[in-house]
Structure 1
């Protein structure tokens, strides 16, 4: 292909860099594997990227990135499969499987299973009675496998297999078995490649990722491998919780540094953002304008803050340009777009709720649904990136070497800093003084633990306050939705009377008559069963939203991160050799990422069915009205009890997880620092020889810098 011929001359330079990496690894072989692992990984990563880039069938790699529940699968179903639910939604990390989509003449699914070694690791983690995400998800995976009575060993030994299909309906059925939430083999699948005969994706390879914070290590590794060769990223952030701390960590920690050439920010599930604000305005159009203005302000603030930080670190202009490009989000609602292609009678339950909420001012029509969906704008961007494939890849080729050289220089500098620290400690201290320092560190860590415990104590108090406030809101909502307003109807009755038509001067008309007609309107009052059903739906929706909002109000991620960092700075000896701001920031960010807002689900279908079976249409007589009101109040009361109990249980579980995070935060600090002290203390067994070795090593490292 002509494009690859143009860049083939670069291969010699790339090979020279690989040789340099090999030389560096060889020259620092006197160091431990732990100290040199980062540089060894650089070589593997660089070789992987070059091998991928110079394949003759190299496509444009497009990543769909975002948290679980950001709407990635729905987004792709709308973009590629005309709104059909081909790609199952991942409701939890354990079902969030990496799915790659590419063109092929024959439709098929290639499934890659966990290896026996990876499954053994999952089994070992499942034995750990901890509520940390990686252990909890391991238990969930085993439980899912056991629930389907799978012969695990058979599939693990397969490694991978390919299943063909003829229609998209067959695809939906087959794919759900491997990656669906309750799929028979979902628990055993690491990732899948979906090959479909769709000419629109001939030039591209699309990956629906589970996210870089996936607790399954092997799936995270696979995602990171893909990110190494990703060219364009569509980053989805849920409009109702736009660019929260986890989103910003995901957006800024991995994507641009990996060589992504274009980053498109999507405010996904935009209909939810509108539903949050529509009651504050007199029209849907006004709510739309204000919501977009607010979300654009959030994007501009968060992205610009990150750009300023990267400028201070002398980041490349290429990286800054990629970031600036995503400061203006595209607003997308896959649901609204799909609704615009249907009649209201064909809406699903979820779509009907969205329609009712967005149609608060009776101004929602097909045109407005298409406008809210805004799929055309994203499709245009898709077409643009495909048309610009050659230029994008050419720019990426030019950036390979500078980026790789910068990464190598950074890692060598990090290793040299570590060696200098160890040399200084050996020269300036004896074993006794180092033991004292190690004990002093433990004291400082204990002080930090006391302070962080105070932070989490405040969080627990806030959670209790939000629980009380949330319960009060639920109780008030239950009262509001338990009442029904009567509607007024009008019945028109036609009546008649007889009129004489005889005339005295016309004898032949004597005794004749005619009938005259007139109408009488009678007002009556009734209850509409559709109002009762809507009250049940709206209470269920509002109750879940109230619970989730209670958690969000209690856990201010930005403030929690800032307080934890401030606590470390105030309680740790910042003049110490072991005070590393970047490390403490990373550890704090990982702590925040481990916090997952509980998801509360409630099934109201049973209540809706019972109400619909008991009444229909207009209810007029007094006894039926009373019965209908009583049943609605009873159902709302039962729903209130159900959601309140879930609320209490989720709050209890959430607090337990926070208590674990409170403990492990300082434990990780202590372990990392004391491990380093133990390394240096071990070197005292042959102090002079170790000093000599470290000095020689530093000379080698400085010659490489």
Structure 2
């Protein structure tokens, strides 16, 4: 147990007491007005309780997108490369998994509650392609497919299963969280208790992704992240720090209290496979690929930090992010390959071997270097050794942040009370009713204007679909064809040389065969070109789609158009007019918009091609077969990407429509609510004015710290 000094503990207790006293002083406010204060107290109490629990562990979070390689990363780190943690290939099977030390091996299964399952069933009945509805249908379908007695498991709440070794664990765990597990659909999260000395003093959470659309899992993940000390953020090397990664890193990662953030370029071998043809050796590929990815990280993280500074973000968060400018490059697959003989490689590993051995210079040492697990283990060891220091540093940051949040919340409450007092003093009931109706009318104008803005975007999306489809089709035609290469062989030939001598009649008519070599040129197709065409087409198509979406939606322009629309439709002379409030609401609306991401798995296409051909293809019929196979794969890949592209446009439209509706609805709801609060006070106007004036004074005194607790 970490022993914190008594002064720190007293300061924490004093802050909680201060919030309680402030709440008591503000007993004239409604519970709705005090919600923010209650939430601040609960959050701070949770963090304090977390720190002062017996044998407090160091909480380490592993986060990133689906398919970022989180489970593979942990399998390599903890289980020596064994696939103990199932790799979540779809959102429906992504389950939050906590891993901790225990002398006795066990799995603690936490099932959905009956209420949560009812919510899933309700979402499944909605005919929408939005993630939360689509995934609900998938979960329900998986449960029905496996003929599970749902009520039996939901009533259990939790269940503990013991196991003797890692093989038993793999078998048991797969039933509950594996892609084809019988009970997977009903499991909310699991806790693995493992007798592994490396896990002492730490708690590791393999998250299903911070963008998990299942609310119960997302909530559980966010609850853990609130008390997380160290975060390992995994971004896939072949799509390093793409738009979704930056959104997770900047918008959804709860940075409060995270003492250290380590950025990892995971599945790094894939990034090298994409660039190896540009260099003369694997070593040069390794060096240059790291330079490219690191430059990408520096540019994007620097831009993000600059944006944080402009928003007045604390230096603590900025310092945590600074380390992300120097990402760690990791390939769990390459490390696992370095630990075994070539004969025991899996099909995926054989394919990587072929792709990385382009220059015939891949050996065990190079695999270890590409894997780079030693560096990660060094960092793990370092943070564990600094456990006490990290936790104490974290407590030091708690109080300043909590006081800042409390101060801001008090200012917000004061602003609303002053606004209500002004409306009550300077207006009568009828004029406020008229203003309320006028606001509703103004909202209709805003609604029509914002709908027009989003309609323009929908029109652009249709153009995006047409232009994007054409660009994808053109690219598919280009990458469907292979150019023949020319090569030379040394071919041995022979000819007869006369051995007749004029002076020897017996030699007349004799000859001998002499051999010589000639250079013979030939034409061939190279399988590596076909594999490169597939990779390039897949990557280029994904980038093309993202670029078209980005061109369609100019965030800066949209923000300005929405803000101008609101300002133009409100009377600047109105007592309620507050441009900063409207600006904040508009920014929140923009932040809720996420550009679609296309995800394509090329491994099956590459494996199919690599298994049927190798090296130089010279035979005429084999050339035709190779060309036909490539054309077929590119065509299938084109169809797959196009279906995703069109579907993402449809889903994106649904999301934008919801945002359009919510923008004015929420704005109107907030404003009307304030008017109704003031109108209700007209029953005893003079008394209410005196109460508000007294309340404003109390708030001003509390905000200025004139009342000492």
TM-score by length of 1: 0.83
1:207 aligns with 2:205: yes
Instruction: Answer yes or no: is the 8 Å Cα contact 2:16–2:41 preserved in 1.
Output: yes
Note the 1:561-572 alignment, pairs <5 A: 561-572=555-566
1:261 aligns with 2:259: yes
1:454 aligns with 2:450: no
Tell me, in whole angstroms, the C-alpha distance in 2 between the residues paired with 1:208 and 1:691: 55
Instruction: Answer yes or no: is the 8 Å Cα contact 2:308–2:318 preserved in 1.
Output: no
Aligned to 1:550: 544
Aligned to 2:382: 384
Note the 1:175-190 alignment, pairs <5 A: 175-190=173-188
Tell me, in whole angstroms, the C-alpha distance in 1 between the residues paired with 2:297 and 2:556: 23
Report the 3-state secondary structure (helix = DSSP H, G, I; strand = E; otherwise coil) of the residue aligned with 1:597.
Answer: coil
Q: 1:88 deviation in Å?
A: 2.9
Aligned to 2:36: 38
Tell me, in whole angstroms, the C-alpha distance in 1 between the residues paired with 2:323 and 2:631: 52
1:300 aligns with 2:286: no
Distance verdict in 2 for CA 1:338–1:131, change over 3 Å: same
Note the 1:218-229 alignment, pairs <5 A: 218-229=216-227
Q: Deviations over 1:382-431 (max 9, x none)?
A: 11111111111122233333333333333233223222222222222334
Aligned to 2:233: 235
Q: 1:451 deviation in Å?
A: 4.4
Structure 2 residues without counterparts, runs of 5 or longer: 704-709
Report the 3-state secondary structure (helix = DSSP H, G, I; strand = E; otherwise coil) of the residue aligned with 2:181.
Answer: coil
Q: 1:249 deviation in Å?
A: 4.9
Distance verdict in 2 for CA 1:429–1:339, change over 3 Å: farther
Aligned to 1:115: 113
Farther-moved stretch of structure 1 (628-637 vs 20-29): 628-637
- C-alpha RMSD over aligned residues: 4.3
Instruction: Answer yes or no: is the 8 Å Cα contact 2:598–2:645 preserved in 1.
Output: no
Farther-moved stretch of structure 1 (407-416 vs 483-492): 483-492
Distance verdict in 2 for CA 1:295–1:320, change over 3 Å: closer
Report the 3-state secondary structure (helix = DSSP H, G, I; strand = E; otherwise coil) of the residue aligned with 1:556.
Answer: helix
Q: Deviations over 1:241-294 (max 9, x none)?
A: 554565455434565752222222334444455556566666524344344223
Instruction: Answer yes or no: is the 8 Å Cα contact 1:460–1:655 preserved in 2.
Output: no
1:481 aligns with 2:480: yes
Distance verdict in 2 for CA 1:602–1:362, change over 3 Å: closer
Aligned to 2:707: none
Tell me, in whole angstroms, the C-alpha distance in 1 between the residues paired with 2:69 and 2:119: 30
Tell me, in whole angstroms, the C-alpha distance in 1 between the residues paired with 2:128 and 2:625: 50
Report the 3-state secondary structure (helix = DSSP H, G, I; strand = E; otherwise coil) of the residue aligned with 1:572.
Answer: helix
Instruction: Answer yes or no: is the 8 Å Cα contact 2:468–2:548 preserved in 1.
Output: no
Instruction: Answer yes or no: is the 8 Å Cα contact 1:494–1:518 preserved in 2.
Output: yes
1:464 aligns with 2:463: yes
Aligned to 1:328: 326
Among 152, 156, 170, the residue aligned to 1:158: 156
Instruction: Answer yes or no: is the 8 Å Cα contact 1:242–1:267 preserved in 2.
Output: yes
Distance verdict in 2 for CA 1:241–1:30, change over 3 Å: farther
Instruction: Answer yes or no: is the 8 Å Cα contact 2:19–2:41 preserved in 1.
Output: yes
Distance verdict in 2 for CA 1:239–1:630, change over 3 Å: closer
State the number of aligned residues. 690
Q: 1:157 deviation in Å?
A: 0.9
Tell me, in whole angstroms, the C-alpha distance in 2 between the residues paired with 1:203 and 1:558: 49
Instruction: Answer yes or no: is the 8 Å Cα contact 1:100–1:207 preserved in 2.
Output: yes
TM-score by length of 2: 0.82
Tell me, in whole angstroms, the C-alpha distance in 2 between the residues paired with 1:213 and 1:634: 34
Instruction: Answer yes or no: is the 8 Å Cα contact 1:95–1:187 preserved in 2.
Output: yes
Q: Deviations over 1:293-337 (max 9, x none)?
A: 2332222232233234335xxx3x544433434443333343444
Tell me, in whole angstroms, the C-alpha distance in 2 between the residues paired with 1:350 and 1:376: 23
Among 173, 176, 194, the residue aligned to 1:196: 194
Q: Deviations over 1:169-212 (max 9, x none)?
A: 33333323322344332322222112222212212111122344
Tell me, in whole angstroms, the C-alpha distance in 1 between the residues paired with 2:621 and 2:245: 55
Report the 3-state secondary structure (helix = DSSP H, G, I; strand = E; otherwise coil) of the residue aligned with 2:60.
Answer: strand
Report the 3-state secondary structure (helix = DSSP H, G, I; strand = E; otherwise coil) of the residue aligned with 1:258.
Answer: coil
Report the 3-state secondary structure (helix = DSSP H, G, I; strand = E; otherwise coil) of the residue aligned with 1:565.
Answer: helix
Structure 1 residues without counterparts, runs of 5 or longer: none
Instruction: Answer yes or no: is the 8 Å Cα contact 1:527–1:618 preserved in 2.
Output: yes
Instruction: Answer yes or no: is the 8 Å Cα contact 2:589–2:659 preserved in 1.
Output: no
Distance verdict in 2 for CA 1:99–1:135, change over 3 Å: same
Distance verdict in 2 for CA 1:252–1:524, change over 3 Å: closer
Distance verdict in 2 for CA 1:559–1:277, change over 3 Å: farther
Tell me, in whole angstroms, the C-alpha distance in 1 between the residues paired with 2:661 and 2:122: 22
Q: Deviations over 1:346-375 (max 9, x none)?
A: 655555665666666666555444444433
Distance verdict in 2 for CA 1:691–1:382, change over 3 Å: same
Aligned to 2:585: 584
Instruction: Answer yes or no: is the 8 Å Cα contact 1:113–1:156 preserved in 2.
Output: yes
Instruction: Answer yes or no: is the 8 Å Cα contact 1:131–1:657 preserved in 2.
Output: no
Instruction: Answer yes or no: is the 8 Å Cα contact 2:460–2:552 preserved in 1.
Output: no
Instruction: Answer yes or no: is the 8 Å Cα contact 2:356–2:362 preserved in 1.
Output: yes
Instruction: Answer yes or no: is the 8 Å Cα contact 2:593–2:656 preserved in 1.
Output: no
Note the 1:417-456 alignment, pairs <5 A: 417-442=415-440, 444-449=442-447, 450-451=449-450, 453-454=452-453
Farther-moved stretch of structure 1 (217-226 vs 633-642): 633-642
Distance verdict in 2 for CA 1:548–1:274, change over 3 Å: same
Farther-moved stretch of structure 1 (217-226 vs 676-685): 676-685
Q: 1:158 deviation in Å?
A: 0.6
Tell me, in whole angstroms, the C-alpha distance in 2 between the residues paired with 1:688 and 1:129: 53
